[in-house]
Amino acid sequence: MKRPTILVLGAGYGGLSTVVNLQKLVGTDEADIILVNKNDYHYESTWLHEASAGTLRPDQVRYDVKSVINQSKVTFVKATVDAIDVNTKKVATSAGEYTYDYLVIGLGFEGETFGIPGLDKYALSIANVNAARQIRDHIEYQFANWSTDDVQDDTRLTIVVGGAGFSGIEFLGELGNRIPELCKEYDVPKEKVRVVCVEAAPMVLPGFDPELVEYAVRRLESKGIEFSIGTPVVEATPEGVKIKKGEDEFEFITAGTVVWAAGVRGNRLIESSGIENMRARVKVDKDMRAPGFPDVFIVGDCALMINEEINRPYPPTAQIAMQQAVTVAKNIVALMKGNDTEEFVPALKGTVCSLGEHDAIGDVMGRKLTGTKASIMKKVIDNRALYMIGGVPLVIKKGKFSL
Ligand SMILES: Cc1cc2nc3c(=O)[nH]c(=O)nc-3n(C[C@H](O)[C@H](O)[C@H](O)COP(=O)(O)OP(=O)(O)OC[C@H]3O[C@@H](n4cnc5c(N)ncnc54)[C@H](O)[C@@H]3O)c2cc1C
């Protein structure tokens, strides 16, 4: 009998963890496992805010996919997926066309600009390693030019961050540490720099404990970061952003850098795949399959799951993506053996939001943490994610140990 082909798209937290789990469960001759990813490296998306601010080298946030896969069981293909058609079971990639017996879609997130004019064109987004490098270089370029300009334009030194959610706040935390370094390096007086966080919702970090949020805002404000809350961005231009401050009241913030971190959606390829979706995310069945397509699994940010306790979707996180991957791998093996699949039940252990290298807030297993304790916990979580994919050698190579 022909061995089944398991095709996994994307080597992010969801896709790569699926493969790492599959290679433990599937014997060499039992299946052909193919992993397709745009780059030959995996990047820690959860560290991208650090690479974007310039507090961590881009190299440090990534590692070779081949260093964690068992190449006797898994074929890695470095290619861009161009189209998925689940009706014909065909996946078009820059390395040719693939078909499958089981498909796992783990192509991750894209920034959501909610149709706000100009954002796609004029705002930068913390989307991947290249984008992070671009943000870091762009900010440095503004500082370098301010120093050499004949007539100094201080708005070069204004950075607008759109979004006071998780990634926006984590990025601001890094900027709070990076700006003093940049000021020193480029002889820029600190008071010339302005960092403004603009948020449409009436609060910072929705869903987080109010006491922890207050701590975070206080800490960031103490580093000079301004908050403009309940003031949606209505337009972005090459000069900056226009925000709505009241019924007919608008303000234009002239800024040399605009970073948009206010929401994510699934990968756009989902929209033309033939699978029903909402903003490129698939409301998956309980066993992580795409409704109506029993051989297609969705993992990570492309999957939408409702938390029935509060009747809202679970936030897209690496934590959930990696847990889903365990279930997806087990369920593929169950199908191969003609057994029943199991339901995915998230085991949420809490959330820690970094506020820079040595500061954070966290709600972990019902305990509220701030400052160094929360920051250490964040590093433990980061190192655990490395351990789960690449074991001790990966933790030694890429782990975070400074206290
Ligand atoms: C700044 C920031 C901080 C975050 N912090 C946290 C945190 O502290 N905790 C937490 O749990 N979550 C955090 N998240 C969310 C977390 O990063 C995502 O939920 C997680 O990365 C989703 O995993 P994924 O596998 O779905 O996608 P990803 O990790 O994004 O991986 C997708 C993969 O698919 C590849 N790919 C995409 N398109 C194609 C294509 N067309 N062809 C081939 N390959 C392709 C990409 O290169 C990538 O390797 C953070 C996110 C950001 C941006």
326: Cβ contacts below 8 Å, ≥ 6 apart:
17, 21
Does residue 11's CB lie within 6 angstroms of at least one atom of ligand 1? yes
- Running DSSP on this structure, what letter comes out for residue 239? T
Name the residue with tokens 């064109």.
Answer: 121
Reduced to 3 states (helix: H, G, I; strand: E, B; else coil), residue 212 is helix
Q: Which atom of ligand 1 is nearest to the CA of 352?
A: 8
What pLDDT was estimated at residue 246? 92
Q: Which amino acid is at 180?
A: P
- pTM summary value: 0.95
For the chain, which ranges sit under pLDDT 70? Answer: 1
* Catalytically annotated residue among 50, 110, 112, 170: 170
Q: Any idea of the CA torsion for 255, 259, 261, 266, to the nearest 10 degrees?
A: 130
Best residue among 107, 112, 282 to mutate for probing ligand 1's pocket (most ligand atoms within 8 Å of CB) is: 107
Residue 350: HSE in the Cβ half-sphere, 13 Å Cα cutoff = 17
| pLDDT at 12 (0 to 100) | 98
pLDDT recorded at residue 196 = 98
Query: What is the DSSP-derived secondary structure letter of residue 339?
Result: P
**Spatial separation of the C-alpha atoms in residues 390 and 97, rounded to whole Å:** 29
Helices (H), 187-232: 210-222
Tell the residue nearest (CA) to atom 38 of ligand 1: 107
* Of 46, 259, 314, 369, best ligand 1 pocket probe by most atoms within 8 Å of the beta carbon: 46
Q: How far is CA 309 from CA 299, 306, 313, 316, 338, in A?
A: 21, 9, 10, 17, 32
Domains of the chain: 5-111+264-348 (3.50.50.100), 119-260 (3.50.50.60)
Instruction: Decide whether any atom of ligand 1 lies within 6 Å of the 108 Cβ.
Output: yes
The tens digit of pLDDT for each residue in 147-187 reads 888 888 999 999 999 999 999 999 999 999 999 999 999 99
Ligand 1 atom 47 nearest Cα: 38
Two structure tokens written together for 305: 């799951």
* 225 Cα–ligand 1 center, Å: 27
Using alpha carbons, list the distances in angstroms from residue 396 to 198, 386, 402. 38, 9, 13
Q: 199 catalytic, yes or no?
A: no
Phi, psi of 299 (to 5 degrees): -130, 145
